[in-house]
Structure 1
Amino acid sequence: MKQLFKPILAGATLRDRMRACAGGIIGIALTSLLAWLLLDDWASAPMIVAPMGASAVLVFAIPASPLAQPWPVIGGNTISALVGVFFAQTVTSPHLAAGLAVGFAILLMSLARCLHPPGGAAALTAVIGGPIVASAGYSFAFLPIAMNAVCLVLVGIAYHFLSGHSYPHRPQAFMGQRISERDLAPPHEEDISAALADLGETFDIGPEDLELIIRRVDFHAAQRREAAR
């Protein structure tokens, strides 16, 4: 039974989960409030859209994820919404339009280096969002989608600065090591890329962070061997 409540994310602690909860509350509330203040005619458009809830999970729960960085949040949601509007206006079958919107949103986000899972929801919302979204046309991608995403990122940057997290994420090396990094065999970027290619999977971690983890594993292994002598 205990195993069911074990964190599925490496490094996740109860404190981090509570911090993510607080961040989600503050992030979505402030994003909705800012949208309400900035939109002149907010009654004709939603103040905040559902994909922002999914974006908030990434921004506040796993801020180190490559999928949670500012450009994926803003670019991924905006590009996907534009794709969704395009297929909503050009494909008569709503079922086919929905599939094309999500599929091509994945493709364009990948090409633009802003892959963001909630972008798929933004594309789908543009297709099935109803008369209000349909009447907004391409402006829906900017008001409220892009504006919501920008607000959420700004809140995320401020929140993580105050709570001590790095966002936008930058890998941080540890200082004060008793064993010099020069004594370790540092991994080569090509070796890491080759190992990832061997596994044939996509992992929710950046290559720089993966290299840092490998270095820390080597460091602690060297410490353990030194202590055993």
Structure 2
Amino acid sequence: MSTETALDAGGNEDARSGVAAYFLKMKGEKRVAPLAAPPALDLFVSWLGAFAGISVVAMLTLVYKMPMLVPSFGASAVLIYGVPEVPLAQPRNVIGGHVVSAATGVVVYALCGLTWWSAAMATALAIALMLVTKTAHPPGGATALGAVLIKASPQYILAPVALGAVILVAVGLLVNNLSPHRRYPRYWL
């Protein structure tokens, strides 16, 4: 409790200042520096990577009838090809985050079926498990949610999810390193 906060007989001032502090957190801060557009070569490499990565999984799905396309891969493409230097875009996070989340969604669906709360449980549990396993990858939340919504079987974990994530990372390895400004991955583990 702060010594600067004056308390009335019922402690109401402290409660009011706590509520005010809570809402002040939502104010945010001013950006220190404006966001700069990346060099033209990096924009092209981002476009090329996203096009190539999603093309491979889409082609396997639509042409060769191998189910490899998961909507959350679109968000993974933003991270892998758009901001490949961030920790959430590294191979461990992409592959591990998707696999942990897919497994979570499959297990939650198998145990609970499709309900409003099983969808929420799969997503929330996937987040917790990704954090514990140090594989946080935001699109993983959608992978877990998707597993419940499509009533996924255990096969979903391997293909499309694990294999698709490996394909996206492999394309990232090939394409991101075309730019002299990029190095992908920053780390593996």
Please give the secondary structure, in 2, of the residue aligned with 1:162. coil
More helix by share: 1
Superposed, 1:1-229 pairs within 5 Å as: 10=35, 12-13=37-38, 15=40, 16-33=42-59, 42=66, 46-92=67-113, 94-130=115-151, 133=152, 137-164=153-180, 165-169=182-186
| Unmatched segments (≥5 aa) in structure 1 | 1-7, 171-229
Separation in 2, partners of 1:86, 1:162: 40
Task: Give the TM-score, by structure 2 length.
Answer: 0.73
Amino acid across the alignment from 1:169: R
| Deviation string, structure 1 residues 74-131 (Cα, Å, up to 9, x no partner) | 000011011001111111452111000000100100111110000001001100015x
Please give the secondary structure, in 1, of the residue aligned with 2:155. helix
Amino acid across the alignment from 2:81: F
Identity of aligned residues (%): 37
Higher relative contact order at CA 8 Å, sep ≥6: structure 1 or structure 2?
Answer: 2
| Unmatched segments (≥5 aa) in structure 2 | 1-32
Separation in 1, partners of 2:57, 2:48: 14
Deviation at 1:14, TM superposition (A): 5.2
Please give the secondary structure, in 2, of the residue aligned with 1:113. coil
**Contact 1:160/1:166 (8 A) holds in 2:** yes
Please give the secondary structure, in 1, of the residue aligned with 2:69. coil
**Contact 1:87/1:127 (8 A) holds in 2:** yes
Separation in 1, partners of 2:60, 2:34: 31
**Contact 1:52/1:149 (8 A) holds in 2:** yes
Task: Give the TM-score, by structure 1 length.
Answer: 0.61
**Contact 1:88/1:97 (8 A) holds in 2:** yes
1:224 is matched with which residue? none
- CA distance 1:139–1:29, change in 2 (3 Å): same
- Aligned pair count? 153
Amino acid across the alignment from 1:26: A
Deviation at 1:21, TM superposition (A): 1.8
